[in-house]
Amino acid sequence: MVISLHGPDDMEAVAAALKGRPRKTLGWRTPAEALDAVFVRSGLIRSAIPITSGQ
């Protein structure tokens, strides 16, 4: 694959797809879910997961 043939939007899409994949080393959580758990355990935040009103 020649990277120069792909634009920034293509590269961002690939990066997002890779970052969104669950990892075996993270207990099948995504990197974002694992990081959220670290922040919650540390008490820095309650949760990065948005709370909806249910409407």
Q: What DSSP string describes 1-55?
A: --GGGS-HHHHHHHHHHHHTS-BGGGTSB-HHHHHHHHHHHHTS-S-SSPPP---
47: pLDDT strictly greater than 80: no
Q: In the prediction, which pLDDT does 27 show?
A: 94
Q: Domain tally for the chain? A: 1
Give a yes or no: residue 42 inside a domain: yes
Q: What is the pTM assigned to this prediction?
A: 0.59
For the chain, the C-alpha Rg in angstroms (whole number) is: 16
Give a yes or no: residue 44 inside a domain: yes
Written as six digits, the tokens of 4 are 């120069």
Give a yes or no: residue 27 inside a domain: yes
Percent of all residues in the chain with a pLDDT value above 90, rounded to a whole number: 36
| Domain containing residue 48 | 22-55
Give a yes or no: residue 29 inside a domain: yes
Give a yes or no: residue 37 inside a domain: yes
Q: How far apart are CA 44 and CA 25, in angstroms?
A: 24
